[in-house]
């Protein structure tokens, strides 16, 4: 790969794997009564703890008049988290994870509109291919014409809708982090953002369902899943803040769609899960769509 290989893209690659394992663990708790508010609060507390050591990287503290910037970023992050966890509470990880990949195209568009970035034709083509892959995943969740629409089909619709809204929120989050954080420095901006995230998340306390926390069988899955989600957040947000390159970072991060189909099906077959109930045709369609995301990653890394 040579010395010119963009090594910072290993961060979103790691994030894509951590994200899927986190969602699979959280899905198990949602089936046992762990609600999205509980999951969001725990994940965001983990994130605040894990982002705190970045303070030692240093930076330039901005005047109080600019503290609205990390506050806006914090709100967007919380919105994205809640919508993601609602998505997997309504349907399959193998649907939610690839649909979240439309963020690739959204970041490309927002980066062009809100910054001075000039995107190459290869990056635009990769974003388009990734979007086609998402469309295939969406199609796999449809029922054949004339068939009865089942509860699971309704769940897939909600999953797609919540995942798409989450992608919108996180796309704007990514572009604004890339645009605003340089003035502060990663060591100031990111800890401030995630301290605000944790503080704002305390507003979810009245909606918390302690079922999963009290259940000794569910509690380890809940703690592990939320920790993995926080760890992947460090990888992806630090990459955006330190290196910029939002479009390529997000195309690599879109690999979570591929892992989301393959790993979710493999784990469901062996230890139980909703993916095991689908026909091979449905899972192959989802895998084909997610594979297009892989092709987009290769295009961007090698030619972007």
pLDDT tens profile 114-164: 766 676 777 778 778 877 877 776 666 554 444 444 444 455 677 778 888
Query: Between these two residues, 250 and 279, which has the higher pLDDT value?
Result: 250
From 222, 284, 255, 253, select the one nearest 85 (Cα to Cα). Answer: 222
pLDDT tens, 44-93? 999 999 999 999 988 999 999 999 999 999 999 999 988 988 887 776 77
First to last CA, the chain: 14
pLDDT tens, 214-257? 777 778 888 999 999 999 999 988 888 888 777 778 778 877 77
Q: Which two tokens stand for residue 279?
A: 């026909």
CA-angle at 245, arms to 239 and 58, nearest 5°: 40
pLDDT at position 2 over 50:
no
pTM: 0.78
Which residue bears the tokens 């109930």?
A: 277
């Amino acid at each position: 790969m040579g010395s010119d290989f963009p090594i910072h893209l290993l961060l979103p690659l790691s994030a894509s794997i951590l994200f899927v394992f986190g969602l699979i663990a959280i899905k198990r708790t949602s089936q046992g009564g762990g609600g999205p508010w509980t999951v969001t609060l725990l994940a965001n507390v983990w994130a605040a703890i894990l982002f705190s050591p970045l303070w030692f990287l240093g930076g330039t503290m901005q005047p109080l008049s600019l503290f609205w910037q990390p506050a806006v970023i914090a709100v967007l992050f919380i919105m994205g988290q809640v919508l993601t966890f609602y998505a997997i509470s309504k349907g399959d990880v193998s649907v939610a994870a690839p649909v979240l990949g439309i963020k690739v195209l959204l970041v490309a568009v927002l980066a062009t509109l809100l910054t001075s970035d000039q995107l190459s034709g290869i990056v635009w083509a990769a974003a388009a291919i990734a979007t086609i892959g998402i469309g295939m995943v969406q199609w796999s969740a449809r029922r054949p014409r004339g068939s009865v629409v089942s509860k699971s089909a309704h769940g897939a619709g909600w999953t797609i809708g919540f995942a798409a809204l989450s992608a919108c929120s996180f796309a704007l989050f990514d572009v604004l982090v890339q645009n605003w954080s340089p003035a502060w420095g990663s060591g100031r901006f990111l800890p401030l953002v995630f301290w605000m995230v944790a503080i704002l998340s305390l507003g979810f306390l009245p909606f918390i369902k302690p079922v999963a926390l009290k259940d000794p069988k569910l509690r380890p899955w809940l703690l592990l899943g939320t920790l993995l989600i926080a760890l992947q957040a460090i990888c992806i947000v630090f990459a955006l803040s330190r290196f910029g390159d939002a479009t390529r970072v997000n195309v690599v991060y879109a690999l979570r769609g591929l892992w989301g189909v393959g790993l979710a099906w493999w784990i469901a077959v062996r230890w139980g899960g909703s993916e095991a109930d689908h026909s091979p045709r449905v899972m192959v369609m989802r895998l084909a769509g997610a594979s297009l995301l892989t092709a987009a990653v290769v295009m961007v890394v090698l030619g972007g």
